[in-house]
């Protein structure tokens, strides 16, 4: 029976090694000193643009808030997904319930690395997998702008998730697969600045790919089907394909920019669903920013729809 | 006499057919609404010159369209099935759905009551009306492939 003992021993050693490796690989990784040094002092006026490009208020305002109440970032919306219900937290300037006590470095670690001040992983329902592509200066400007927003007391309820998604440490492994500051679409040398600016807005702060790209079994964005549309994570329905392989292929750049400004498609249908909030944020950007987004969308490789065709009416 | 009976029954059938498909009816109403918004938008974008009379006609047509929108007739129970992008939320929250539509009607009436004198005034009205489109579609419509 000596061989059995050896086998058991080997299994224990291997299992232990895997556990140690898994523990090491899943550790939260913060920004290094060089990256922190790049942040610099932020400019609140410039940060306002980033705030609307990022759509922070769409998830973090109180559900149904209108007007100035949309700047009270108390959280509490429920995002019902196959992994469970995510509840965006209070990110107002409240010292206790919000992020009023966070340093600029804390904020940058949350946005770029998905790590909380106490060293925990955030769930990627907070789209830091996109924000990781943002420029340090923009993070600093956004931090400065958010400092000008009101403090609003009240903790949002906790996420309601099912096992194994309750284990935050596992997100560390997810990040090794899906977290990268590199652009999704490589653009050739000599690409016009407008397209590059659009790429930054769409892939970074705008986090368009989070909803408009299908995800694999582990919840990572399938970069090979970038912006091909997807089955909606919440509820029924789909999020449209916004590559030239989808229904927007005949839209001109001006049509796309006009849609983002007014909410009307070239056929004079109106914006709907979760895009309503997004469009209202995009309407706050400059005409140049909207034109840049349009130019980039025209440069993205076309894909067939990332969702199944509609079943015939029964 | 026989012919008359047949003719009447055919007419009755045609009449009932028109009501038998609320999905088609409500889609036709929405299509018309989009077309009118398109006409107004062209003026706002400067693609068609501002003509106060034509603009007022379009706004009046929008008001008439909104008047025709009767949620009880167009969205009866059971009409969430079939070739429709109506969200189940309509039947879960019929009061909210009707309130969203009432706001559109009120805004269309207000626009007709104070006809825009220039493109800027029209633009403000279109923003309000277009915002109503989005507010309703945000909650009460789902996107399908």
Q: For residue B31, give its domain range.
A: 22-140
- Please indicate whether, in this complex, the C-beta atoms of A264 and B130 are within 8 angstroms of each other: yes
Contact B83/A313, CB-based, under 8 Å? yes
Residue A228 pLDDT: 97
Whether B127 is covered by a domain: the verdict is: yes
Q: Would you say residue B3 lies in a domain?
A: no
B5 lies in a domain?
Answer: no
Contact between chains at A280 and B83 (C-beta distance less than 8 A): no
A62-73 residue pLDDT tens? 998 888 999 999
Which pLDDT score, from 0 to 100, does residue A314 have? 43
Contact at CB, B143 and A268, closer than 8 angstroms? no
What is the structure's pLDDT at A96?
Answer: 96
- CA separation for the pair B86, B118 (Å, rounded): 36
Burial readout A170-209 (b: 16 or more C-beta within 10 A, e: otherwise): ebbebbeebbeeeebbeeeeeeeebbbbbbbbbbbbbbbb
B11 falls within a domain:
no
What is the pLDDT of chain B when averaged over all its residues? 88
**pLDDT of amino acid B15:** 47
Where chain A has pLDDT below 70, the residues are: 1, 311-314
Q: Does B8 score more than 70 pLDDT?
A: no
Q: What is the mean pLDDT of residues B8-16?
A: 52
Residue B34 lies in a domain: yes
ipTM of the shown complex: 0.79
Residue B10 maps to a domain: no
- Residue contact A239–B143, C-beta within 8 A: yes
Residue A51: partners with Cβ closer than 8 Å, 6 or more residues away = A57, A142, A145, A146
Confidence class of residue B4 from pLDDT cuts 50, 70 and 90?
low
How confident is the model over B84-128, as pLDDT tens digits? 999 999 999 999 999 999 999 999 999 999 999 999 999 999 999
Which residues of A sit within 8 Å Cβ distance of B?
Answer: 229, 232, 235-240, 258, 262-264, 267-274, 276-277, 279-280, 305, 307-310, 313-314
pLDDT at A233: 84
Domain presence at residue B77: yes
pTM for the whole structure:
0.87
- How many domains does chain B contain in total? 1
pLDDT of residue A64: 84
Per-residue model confidence (pLDDT) at position B91: 95
**Cβ–Cβ gap B81/A314 under 8 Å:** yes
The domain that holds B28 is classified in CATH as 1.20.120.10
> Contacts of residue A262 in chain B, CB cutoff 8 Å?
41, 126-127, 130
Q: List the single residue in A263, A272, A277 with the smallest CB-CB distance to B130.
A: A263
Whether B62 is in a domain gets the answer: yes
């Amino acid at each position: 029976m000596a061989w059995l003992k050896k086998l058991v021993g080997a299994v224990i050693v291997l299992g232990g090694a895997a556990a140690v490796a898994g523990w090491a690989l899943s550790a939260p990784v913060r920004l290094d000193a060089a990256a922190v040094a790049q942040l610099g002092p932020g400019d609140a006026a410039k940060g306002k643009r980033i705030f609307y490009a990022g759509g922070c208020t769409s998830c973090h305002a109180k559900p149904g808030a209108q007007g100035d109440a949309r700047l009270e970032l108390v959280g509490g919306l429920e995002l019902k997904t196959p992994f469970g219900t995510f509840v965006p937290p209070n990110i107002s300037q409240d010292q206790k319930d919000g992020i009023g006590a966070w340093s600029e470095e804390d904020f940058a670690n949350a946005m770029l690395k998905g790590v909380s001040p106490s060293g925990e992983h955030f769930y990627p329902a907070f789209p830091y997998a996109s924000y990781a592509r943002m420029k340090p200066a923009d993070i600093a400007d956004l931090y400065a702008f958010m400092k000008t927003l009101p403090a609003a007391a009240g903790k949002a309820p906790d996420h309601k998730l099912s096992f194994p998604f309750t284990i935050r440490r596992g997100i560390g492994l997810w990040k090794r697969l899906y977290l990268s500051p590199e652009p999704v679409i490589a653009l050739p040398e000599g690409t016009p600045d407008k397209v590059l600016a659009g790429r930054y807005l769409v892939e970074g702060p705008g986090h368009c790919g989070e909803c408009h790209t299908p995800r694999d079994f582990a919840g990572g964005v399938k970069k090979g089907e970038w912006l091909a549309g997807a089955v909606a994570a919440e509820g029924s329905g789909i999020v449209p394909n916004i590559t030239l392989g989808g229904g927007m292929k005949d839209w001109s750049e001006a049509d796309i920019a006009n849609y983002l400004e007014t909410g009307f498609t070239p056929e004079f249908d109106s914006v709907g669903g979760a895009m309503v909030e997004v469009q209202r944020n995009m309407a706050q950007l400059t005409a140049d920013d909207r034109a840049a987004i349009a130019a980039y969308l025209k440069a993205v490789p076309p894909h067939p729809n990332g969702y199944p065709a509609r079943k015939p009416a029964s | 006499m026989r012919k008359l009976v047949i003719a009447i029954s055919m007419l009755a059938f045609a009449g009932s057919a028109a009501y038998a498909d609320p999905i088609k009816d409500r889609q036709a109403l929405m299509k018309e609404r989009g077309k009118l918004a398109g006409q107004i938008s062209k003026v706002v974008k400067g693609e068609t010159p501002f003509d106060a009379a034509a603009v007022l006609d379009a706004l009046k047509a929008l008001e008439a369209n909104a008047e025709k929108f009767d949620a009880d007739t167009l969205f009866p129970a059971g009409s969430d099935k079939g070739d429709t992008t109506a969200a189940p939320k309509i039947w879960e929250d019929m009061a909210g759905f009707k309130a969203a539509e009432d706001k559109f009607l009120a805004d269309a009436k207000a626009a007709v009551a104070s006809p825009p004198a220039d493109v800027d005034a029209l633009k403000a009205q279109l923003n309000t009306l277009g915002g109503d489109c989005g507010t309703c579609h945000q909650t009460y419509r789902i996107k399908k492939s």
